[in-house]
Structure 1
Amino acid sequence: MNISSFPQALQDDLNRGLTTLGLDGDALSPPLLAYLALLDRWNRTYNLTAIRDPREMVTRHLLDSLAMHPFVENEALADLGTGPGLPGIPLAIAKPQLRVTLVESNGKKARFLREAVRTLGLTNARVAESRAEALDEPAAYDALTARALDVLAGIIEVGGHLLKPGGKLLAMKGLRPDEEIAALPAGWTVSDIHTLAVPGLVGERHLVIVARDA
């Protein structure tokens, strides 16, 4: 599906959502729609995401990923278990100064990610086809993010070595994960919990920021 083939209602949903999130819809809609078109096309063959409806992808993939943008600084970010590039690619599009490494061990998803980075011209994003725990880049990142990878302790177990001292994990969660917070390993502390309002999404969404002790 080309960008021009998307129904106007889908484009309106995206523009309204971007405005609600405090982002520039005029600037960001074209590259986000180009990413969505590529994801929709590949998804028909490679089953990259269970969501098939592009209009639903706008809410549950694009806007959901971008809801965390106010809490992402222009630094080195590793997106663990990124799948088809979520939230890493939308964040890389919205924040050109952000340096994103898309970490994904699944071969077909990694191939899609490389094609997306090339097609979209994302010079601030790179693909690491690897399991997070096997990525040999110790203390290389200011921040980690994970959208649907594991519980907090599990994310830290497989990716904690990638963070610099004083770095942080930005974990996307649904309900406030109090049990996961209580199970954090020593040396890790929750610094903030933000309730996110994702335009068009029904249900709770939280961003849990876990700091690594310096």
Structure 2
Amino acid sequence: MSHPQAAALERGIAALGLTLPEAAPAQLLAYLDLIARWNQVYNLTAVRDPQQMLTQHLLDCLAVVQPLRQQAAALDHADDLRLLDVGSGAGLPGVVLAIANPGWAITCVDTVAKKATFIRQVGAELGLRQLQAVHQRVEDMSTAPFSMITSRAFASLVDFVHLTRERLAPGGCWAAMKAHLTDEERQAVPADVEMFHVERLAVPGLDAERCIVWMRATV
């Protein structure tokens, strides 16, 4: 029996113009089911309605796949990007990026143990061998640096940069997913960090502002 959200996901992927691995749609729907199942016991996300989960979780994160792929190519890591997703929560966008880009090595970090445990379970059940989950404060991590660091509604830009600066590889970049960017937040970015692009996103079925704030260190 087909998944009740399969057709809507297919339409969303088509609207985004995305090319995904053959297994990706089924993995994305299985991931959605896992979130719903764990939400019955643990408060992973506030969104509970299946259609809203599809739009506000899966499609919202799928909207960043192509921009991140383009930037990964610009960094000469189109197929082997090391990416850190900070404050990943239920794995958004880290799990979605791992499904869409099987060659990328993706680490999700969150301070809530049950959320890191959930992401590990998702990786095991969906066979995402390149996906890791860490229960830790990002500023306490001890690991090789990452070429790209993402966050989704994690913190202000200045806090995001401050907390993750030691994790960013030379020449790497930050990609902050935001609903909107205020002038106050923009002006608070440190002087030695360049906000080189604010990329507007259109999420199928979502009538709301979305953007990626791209930043890199200048020294």
Aligned counterpart for 1:110 among listed residues 105, 109, 116: 116
User: Who is 1:173 aligned against?
Assistant: 178
Deviation of 1:46 after TM superposition, in Å, equals 0.5
| Aligned-partner Cα distance in 2 for 1:148–1:176 | 11
Give yes or no for contact 2:20–2:100 (8 Å, CA) kept in 1: no
Query: Which moves more between the two structures, 22-31 or 78-87?
Result: 22-31
Give yes or no for contact 1:165–1:213 (8 Å, CA) kept in 2: no
User: Who is 1:66 aligned against?
Assistant: 62
Which consecutive unaligned segments of at least 5 residues does structure 2 have?
73-77
Aligned counterpart for 2:149 among listed residues 144, 147, 166: 144
User: Who is 1:55 aligned against?
Assistant: 51
Deviation of 1:47 after TM superposition, in Å, equals 1.1
> Equivalent residues in 2 for 1:87-102 (5 A)?
87-102=93-108
Give yes or no for contact 2:158–2:190 (8 Å, CA) kept in 1: yes
Which consecutive unaligned segments of at least 5 residues does structure 1 have?
none
Aligned counterpart for 1:126 among listed residues 107, 127, 132: 132
| Aligned-partner Cα distance in 2 for 1:13–1:101 | 28
| Aligned-partner Cα distance in 1 for 2:191–2:202 | 31
Deviation of 1:179 after TM superposition, in Å, equals 2.0
| Aligned-partner Cα distance in 2 for 1:122–1:186 | 38
| Aligned-partner Cα distance in 2 for 1:44–1:178 | 39
Deviation of 1:197 after TM superposition, in Å, equals 0.4
Q: TM-score, normalised by structure 1?
A: 0.92
| Aligned-partner Cα distance in 2 for 1:207–1:147 | 9
Question: Helix, strand or coil for the counterpart of 2:41?
Answer: helix
Mark the CA change 1:78 to 1:26 in structure 2 (over 3 Å): closer, same or farther. closer
| Aligned-partner Cα distance in 2 for 1:188–1:149 | 18
Give yes or no for contact 1:170–1:209 (8 Å, CA) kept in 2: yes
Question: Helix, strand or coil for the counterpart of 2:40?
Answer: helix
Give yes or no for contact 1:77–1:141 (8 Å, CA) kept in 2: yes
Q: Which amino acid aligns with 1:155?
A: F
Aligned counterpart for 1:185 among listed residues 185, 190, 200: 190
- Cα deviation 1:29-48 (Å, max 9, x = unaligned): 10100111111101111010
| Aligned-partner Cα distance in 1 for 2:85–2:21 | 26
Give yes or no for contact 2:117–2:133 (8 Å, CA) kept in 1: no
| Aligned-partner Cα distance in 2 for 1:118–1:105 | 20
Matched, 1:15 2:10: yes
Deviation of 1:25 after TM superposition, in Å, equals 6.6
- Cα deviation 1:45-83 (Å, max 9, x = unaligned): 101000001211111001101111122223111000000
| Aligned-partner Cα distance in 1 for 2:20–2:66 | 16
Give yes or no for contact 2:175–2:212 (8 Å, CA) kept in 1: yes
Q: TM-score, normalised by structure 2?
A: 0.90
User: Who is 2:38 aligned against?
Assistant: 42
| Aligned-partner Cα distance in 1 for 2:170–2:190 | 15
> What percent identity do the matched residue pairs reach?
40
